[in-house]
Amino acid sequence: MSRTKGEMFAGVTVAIITPLRNDEVDYAALRKLVDFHIAEGTDCLAPVGTTGESPTLSHDEHEKVIAAVVEQAAGRIKVVPGTGSNSTREAIRLTKFAKSAGADGSLQVGPYYNKPTQEGYFRHFAAIAEACDLPIVLYNIPGRTASNITPETIARLAEIPSIVAVKEATGSLDQASHIASLCDITILSGDDSMTLPLMSIGARGVVSVVGNIVPGDLKALVAAHDAGKNAEALAWHRKLFMLSRDLLSVATNPIPLKAAMKLLGRDSGQLRLPLVALDAAGEARIAATLRAYGLMK
C-alpha cells in the first residue's frame, strides 16, 4: 500500500466525550476513558472536539482536558485534540497550548459561523501552521460550519509541511476522490458509516464517534480492509452501520452517544446546555440499538 502524507494518523482515532458530573468536567472519569482506549488498542484520541462538547467548555476547561488526556496517555497512545476556532488568534493560542502540553497533533475545524472565503480558509490554516509546528489534521464538516473547504483549497494547504491529514465529513465520495486526485494528504473518514466507502477510494482510517463504545470493532474493520480481506471488512461495515446510524441520527452528536454510554454504565450521560438528554422514546430507541448489536440484554 502506498504511503501518504500524515500516515502517522492512519487507523482509528476516537473523538472522545468529555465526561460531566454536576455540570463540571469529571477528570477521573476522563482518565479512565483514556485507559480504556489504550487497553482496546485505539490508535489515537481526539479530545475536545464536537463529541467532547468543546463549544460549551470554557477556555480553561478546554486546556485542562487536553492536559489531562495527554498526561494520562503518557505516550502510550497518540493525542490529537481539537484546537480549532472561528477566530484565528484563538486557534493559534489553543494549538500552542496543545503543543506545550505534549499533544501529537491538532484537529482544526473549519471556521464556523463567519463562513470565510476559500482564501480566508487558506490564510487561517496557514497562519496556525506558521505559528506552531504541530502536525495539523484539517476538519471539514460543512453541516456544522455552514461552508465547505474545497478540494482545491485542501490541496493547496497540503503543500504546507505540517498540514498532514484531513478529517473528511462532507459525506461525499466525490469530494474525497477529488482531494486524493490532487494531493497526497491522508484522508480520514469523519463519518462512521462512511469509513469503509472512503477507505475503498484511498482513505486511511476514521475519526470515530462510535469508537467511544466499540473501538475494537472499528479497528477490526480497518485492519481487514488494509489486509485485503474485503468480505470481512464488508461484514464489519454492515454490522456497524445501524449502530453508527442511530448514534448519529436520533439527535445531535453527542446526545445519543452519551445516552448509550450511560445505558452501558460507562458514563453519567450528563450534557451541558444547550444540549439536553434524550426523552424516554429516544433513549428506548438507543437501548434497542444496543441490544440489537449485542451490547445489552
Give the residue numbers annotated as catalytic, written as ranges.
139, 167
Q: CA 110, CA 147: separation in Å to the nearest integer?
A: 8
SS3 79: strand
Q: Any residues with CB less than 8 A from the CB of 121 and at least 6 apart, and which?
A: 110, 111, 149, 153, 157
DSSP state of 278: -
* Amino acid code (one letter) for 137: V
Length of the chain: 297
Cell of 140: 471539514
Three-state DSSP at 11 gives strand
Query: Which CA distances in Å does 63 have to 24, 66, 85?
Result: 14, 5, 14
Q: What are phi and psi of 5, to 5 degrees?
A: -60, 130
Q: In whole angstroms, what is the distance from residue 103 CA to residue 82 CA?
A: 10
Spatial separation of the C-alpha atoms in residues 189 and 168, rounded to whole Å: 5
The four Cα atoms 68, 44, 12, 297 give a dihedral, to 10 degrees, of -30
Q: What DSSP assignment string belongs to 180-209?
A: HHH--BEEEESSGGGHHHHHTTT--EEEES
User: What does the alpha-carbon distance between residue 124 and residue 142 come to, in Å, rounded to a whole number?
Assistant: 16
Residue 21 DSSP SS3: strand
Query: Do residues 210 and 244 lie in contact, with contact meaning Cβ atoms separated by under 8 Å?
Result: yes
